[in-house]
């Protein structure tokens, strides 16, 4: 048995590359001008209090892996009274999100350009109204399943962070990941599934935002939607 005072190993990376092509000049400039003002405090430096970031916010939503930021920016635009927290380690995606935020003049968004799990650890209990996980890296080969974002530990952490009545939304276009996530969430104390009409997994929520990534249909199925509520 490992000693309790031995250093803990960090979790396996649940995401792939953090950069592909060169970041466009305009987006690169926003890393210097816009990002410093909307970046979350360093989660490794201590706890993060969302109420201190936006005292007047009607709620706090977290998007884990916001891709190019289309969904995050649109939801922030629709809900200006909600603090939108977005985490994304892929720097090209962060650059795209910064462009969306700048063009829309959004004031209710905070970003973390790295692993969302660090932010989750730094947030207090019952601090989030909604967690959104749209099309996370599928790691669909069996030997890579351990790298999936949704694990028993992650689901338990989400349950800890949600306020009573708060929801986690999960979307994937890989059948086996949908089944995997369903099993993990169902086994998590404090979470109950919210059924869709007819329990049709392919029915999106009324306020769902379709992104360019979703339109590519890169998985093995049409997008599958599931939602769990904190009880």
Q: Which residues are catalytic?
A: 137
Cβ atoms < 10 Å from Cβ of 229: 15
Dump the DSSP string for the chain: ---TTSPPPPPPP-S--S--SPPPHHHHHHHHHTHHHHBPP-GGGS---HHHH-TT-SEEEEEES-TTSHHHHHHHHH-TTEEEEEE---HHHHHHHHHHHHHHT--SEEEESS-HHHHHHHSPTT-EEEEEEES-----SGGGGGG-S--HHHHHHHHHHEEEEEEEEEEES-HHHHHHHHHHHHTSTTEEEEPPGGG-TT---TT----HHHHH--SSSS-EEEEEEE-
């Amino acid at each position: 048995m490992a000693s309790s005072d031995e250093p803990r190993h960090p979790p396996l990376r649940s995401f792939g590359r953090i950069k592909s092509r060169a970041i466009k000049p305009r987006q690169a400039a926003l890393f210097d001008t816009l990002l410093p003002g909307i970046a979350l405090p360093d989660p490794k430096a201590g706890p993060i209090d969302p109420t201190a970031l936006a005292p007047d916010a009607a709620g706090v939503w977290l998007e884990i892996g916001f891709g190019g930021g289309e969904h995050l920016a649109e939801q922030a635009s629709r809900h200006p009274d909600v603090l939108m927290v977005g985490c994304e380690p892929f720097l090209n995606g962060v650059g795209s999100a910064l462009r969306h935020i700048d063009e829309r003049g959004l004031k209710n968004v905070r970003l973390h350009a790295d692993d969302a799990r660090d932010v989750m650890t730094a947030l207090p209990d019952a601090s989030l109204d909604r967690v959104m996980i749209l099309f996370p890296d599928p790691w669909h080969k069996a030997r890579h399943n351990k790298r999936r974002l949704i694990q028993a530990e992650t689901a338990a952490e989400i349950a800890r962070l949600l306020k009573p009545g708060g929801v986690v939304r999960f979307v994937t276009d890989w059948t086996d990941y949908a089944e995997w996530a369903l099993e993990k969430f169902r086994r998590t104390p404090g979470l109950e599934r919210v059924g869709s009409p007819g329990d049709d997994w392919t029915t999106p929520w009324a306020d769902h935002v379709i992104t360019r990534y979703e339109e590519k249909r890169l998985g093995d199925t049409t997008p599958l939607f599931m939602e769990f509520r904190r009880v």
